Amino acid sequence: MKRACFFFAVAVVSLLCCCDGLVDGFGRKKGGLCVVSWNVQNLMDGVVDGNEYAEFQEDGAWDERSYRARLRTLESVLLKMNPEPDVILLQEIESDSVLEDLCRMHLGRKGYLWYGATGDMSNAVQLGFISRVPISPEDVRVLGVKGQRPVIQIHLSTDSGEVVLWCIHAKSRIGGGSETEDERLQTAKVVSDSAISAGELWPGAVMVVAGDFNEDLDLSDGMGVQTALVRDGAVLAKRYGDCGSLVVTGFRGRFGCWYSFWYDDGLLKDKEGSYCYQGKWDRFDDVLCSDEGFDGSGLDFLDAGVFCDGILCKGNGEPNSYDLKSKSGVSDHLPVWLRLR
């Protein structure tokens, strides 16, 4: 990959083939693809060097032992996922060294040999991916978002067709939803523009946008301003979509829209969201699929959902957040997934 191939010079990608000598693609079924996205809640590496959030720099708050324990927890969760992920998109990791350790010591034996992460030094946490589908440096781009976290774009060539993935972590709502909406919109615009270009490069490719959007349609409805996500059928959906918003629908295969399982009346009747704060659930984490995933050609959408079993959840069903003081828990977000076949 040419390291200059991104919009703003804010990030580089570190792409390595880790775990040399291990079996490639263990357990992966040909003809399908499962993508998982997970905000793992501030997974710092084992070295406290001043780049971490302040609470991790306090004396004794974080160390190598704590780090290794969290890696074992992630291994336990990831290897028990059903369906098994082929590509894992992660938010809130400190650096590519976290992914390297996950591959070398925990996931490599299952064929997860490829990984990459952003290197935006202005942020304490990065975006990254782990894959058991072969990925070369030329397949990956880091797209700059002015003043915001970058976006990772990954092109995959599978036995059944082309797939383009975007991994995002949009601006949080701290400071107010309306007040921070423009920052999330900037991220959406970068993805929207990139998707247009990708469609020209790989006609017919299925496109998937996944990550922590820090927004759902219930929050964006009625805000009175252009939002990053816009509900299909909204009065200004067409205009906002033309101006960079992602138009989201729960109807499969609707032309020009991004399908979300959260809004599909046929799915997830018992699931309230992926993130819960003070008892209020939100659907911040999503895996959006383009209409090419429903055209009956090559790879098509099979199913999607949210992982919420085992140690991921507390007894009341809320995410089992990681607690730095007690060194217990997993993450304040639940993983979401999508399968193509």
Q: Are 38 and 128 in contact (CB under 8 A)?
A: no
User: Binning pLDDT at 50, 70 and 90, where does residue 132 land?
Assistant: very high
> Tokens in use for 24?
């490639």
User: Binning pLDDT at 50, 70 and 90, where does residue 316 land?
Assistant: very high
Please compute Rg for the chain using Cα positions.
19
pLDDT for res 101: 98
Between 26 and 63, name the one with better pLDDT. 63
pTM: 0.92
User: What is the mean predicted confidence (pLDDT) over 306-326?
Assistant: 97
| pLDDT tops 50 at residue 2 | no
User: What is the mean predicted confidence (pLDDT) over 143-168?
Assistant: 96
Mean per-residue pLDDT of the chain: 91
Integer angstrom CA distances of residue 313 from 22, 72, 141, 310, 322? 32, 17, 34, 6, 11
Q: Are 116 and 14 in contact (CB under 8 A)?
A: yes
pLDDT for res 219: 84
Integer angstrom CA distances of residue 269 from 100, 152, 273? 37, 31, 11
* pLDDT tens string 180-230: 999 999 999 999 999 999 999 999 999 999 999 999 998 888 778 999 999
* pLDDT tens string 297-311: 999 999 999 999 999
pLDDT for res 270: 74
> Tokens in use for 249?
């629908």
User: What is the mean predicted confidence (pLDDT) over 52-76?
Assistant: 97
User: Binning pLDDT at 50, 70 and 90, where does residue 4 land?
Assistant: very low
Domain ranges of the chain: 13-340
| pLDDT tops 60 at residue 33 | yes
| pLDDT tops 90 at residue 44 | yes
pLDDT for res 159: 87
Kindly report the number of other CB atoms within 10 A of residue 323's CB atom: 10
What is the β-pairing status of strands 33-43 and 336-340? antiparallel
Residues paired with residue 231 on neighbouring β-strands, in sequence order = 248
pLDDT for res 303: 97
What is the β-pairing status of strands 258-259 and 246-249? parallel
* pLDDT tens string 257-298: 999 999 999 886 678 999 999 999 999 999 999 999 999 999
User: Binning pLDDT at 50, 70 and 90, where does residue 236 land?
Assistant: very high
Kindly report the number of other CB atoms within 10 A of residue 74's CB atom: 22
Torsion 212-217-222-228 (CA) sign: positive
Q: What is the CATH number of domain 13-340?
A: 3.60.10.10
What is the DSSP secondary structure assignment for residue 107, as one 8-state letter?
Answer: I
Amino acid letter at 210? A
pLDDT for res 266: 84
Integer angstrom CA distances of residue 15 from 5, 85, 107? 14, 19, 17
User: What is the mean predicted confidence (pLDDT) over 232-245?
Assistant: 96
